[in-house]
Amino acid sequence: MKYLITTLRVLPFVMLAGLVQSTGLQGADAPKGAKEAPKKQAVVLGRPFDAPGTPKFTRFDGKPGANPPVDVDGDFLVGPEYVAAPETKAVAGVPQGKVEQFVMDSKDCKLFNPGIARKVFGTPDPKNPKTLIVETHNIDYKRTITVYIPAQYVPGTAAPLLVTHDGPGFGKPDMNLARILDNLIAQKRIPALIAVMIQNGGGDAQGHERGKEYDNMSGLFAEFIQNEVLPLVEKNYKVKITSDPEGRATMGTSSGGSAALIMAWYHPEWFRRVLTLSGTFVNQQWPFNPETPGGAWDFHDKLIPNSEPKPIRLYMAVGDRDLLNPNVMRDDMHDWVEANNRMAKVLKAKGYHYQYLYCLNSGHGIGNARPQILPGALEWLWKGYVPKDR
């Protein structure tokens, strides 16, 4: 396998790794030869938190900087003003982890080789309004893998793992997440974990590589990470990652969030802790799969309600001005707020450990709220973890 390795020290960059704000529509970040003109989004007004059918929220709104406790489950209201948590800032004397990067070439991979891209969005299938007819073409692509190794890591030991989606590009490491991890680990609020930030294959939604990886309801992307990405991480940096699923978390924003839950749902023997921001629990799967005709909408429509609870711990946050995108399909399954509200209700009904934040005055990706809520979200995510030497 061909790959390029470089070492990068912690630098003051500003975006959050793995938490890129995707439009969830027609990606403007497609590989060369597959670009589309950016589409303007209509301004979405805030949806009422107390509308009929919404969860009953415990209120922390009107208190800038206030987050729910990290040792309780349930539904919470925050905002509309936000204050960055102190853990987002570098603190003198706190040990800094190191950040490494390498590049994977699709031509050297077993899964997702070759990639796909489209030139136009597609048209509704007249025989099935839940899916699109999309013309795609094959592509080769490269993806950057960014690895955070905490200063407290002891060589030879098995470290807990955090996988993040939509990771940064090569030479552009995202240090805000590393800074948060440094502080939380030093304060012993989370374990000394290794974070693996995985760049997507390009584009967005149906017909693009990112959509193929993130929006399809199957275990394939988890299998790609488990069998192709993580072995390279361990080999390249002489680290060991725990095989204990309770010590493995995955997180992302938008389709990266739905991908995080899809990984744990189809492979709970590998991943059991999930963090989602503006999770795309809507119908964005392509091509059509009769087993899950509504794509990730099926999580709250039938999969979770009709299945025995799985050993998954799930954190969710959504903005009251998040996406409402009927697009060309008109299937009533493209409302991000409604999808996340429905997720919270079915998780509660089935007895899952979950925490759900409804963020006032916040849009898709909840960029204004993330610096306030992310440290607490990560701490909640890791509650109850007991290390095992695996």
Region of residue 193 (phi > 0: left; psi between -120 and 50: alpha; otherwise: beta): beta
Work out the average pLDDT over 133-142.
90
Instruction: Provide the CB-side half-sphere exposure for 162 (13 A, CA).
Output: 27
pLDDT tens digits for range 316-361: 999 999 999 766 777 888 899 999 999 999 999 999 999 999 999 9
Top-confidence residue, 254 or 206? 254
Q: What is the pLDDT of the chain when averaged over all its residues?
A: 88
pLDDT the model gives residue 23: 32
Instruction: Count how many Cα atoms sit within 13 Å of the Cα of residue 71 in the half-sphere of its side chain.
Output: 2
Phi and psi for 14 in degrees, rounded to 5? Answer: -115, -25
Residue 164, pLDDT score: 98
Torsion angle in degrees (nearest 10) through CA of 267, 273, 279, 284: 0
Residue 167 has pLDDT above 70, yes or no: yes
Evaluate if residue 12 carries a pLDDT over 60.
no
The C-alpha atoms of residue 18 and residue 380 are separated, in whole angstroms, by 18
In terms of pLDDT, which residue wins out, 136 or 95?
95
For the chain, percent of residues with pLDDT exceeding 90: 76
The alpha carbon of 152 is separated from its chain's Cα centroid by a whole number of angstroms, namely: 25
Q: Which residues pair with 149 in a beta bridge?
A: 98
pTM of the model: 0.89
Ranges 32-46, 97-111, 255-269: which has the least confidence: 32-46
Q: Around Cβ 306, how many Cβ atoms within 10 Å?
A: 10
Please state which of the ranges 93-102, 157-166, 207-216, 358-367 shows the lowest mean pLDDT.
207-216
At 68-97, the pLDDT tens digits run 999 999 999 999 999 999 999 999 999 999
Convert the pLDDT of each residue in 185-240 to its tens digit.
999 999 999 999 999 998 888 889 899 999 999 999 999 999 999 999 999 999 99
State the Cα–Cα distance between residues 3 and 236, nearest whole angstrom: 10
User: What is the arithmetic mean of pLDDT over 269-286?
Assistant: 96
- Report helix, strand or coil for 76: strand
Largest Cα–Cα distance of the chain, in whole Å?
63
Check residue 115 and give its pLDDT: 87
Distances (CA, A) of 91 to 180, 183, 184, 302: 10, 8, 11, 46
Q: Lowest mean pLDDT of 73-82, 129-138, 297-306, 350-359, name the range.
A: 129-138
Average pLDDT over residues 168-196: 95
- Calculate what percentage of the chain has a pLDDT beyond 70: 88
DSSP letter (8 states) at residue 366: -
pLDDT of residue 25: 34
Q: What is the dihedral of CA 106, 20, 89, 376, to 10 degrees?
A: -110
Query: Mean pLDDT: which of 5-14, 117-126, 141-150, 166-175 is highest?
Result: 141-150
Positions of E strands within 161-220? 161-165, 194-198
What sign does the dihedral 169-273-300-77 (CA atoms) show?
negative
- Mean pLDDT, residues 273-279: 98
The confidence score (pLDDT) of residue 26 equals 32
Domains of the chain in start order, with CATH, are 3-381 (3.40.50.1820)
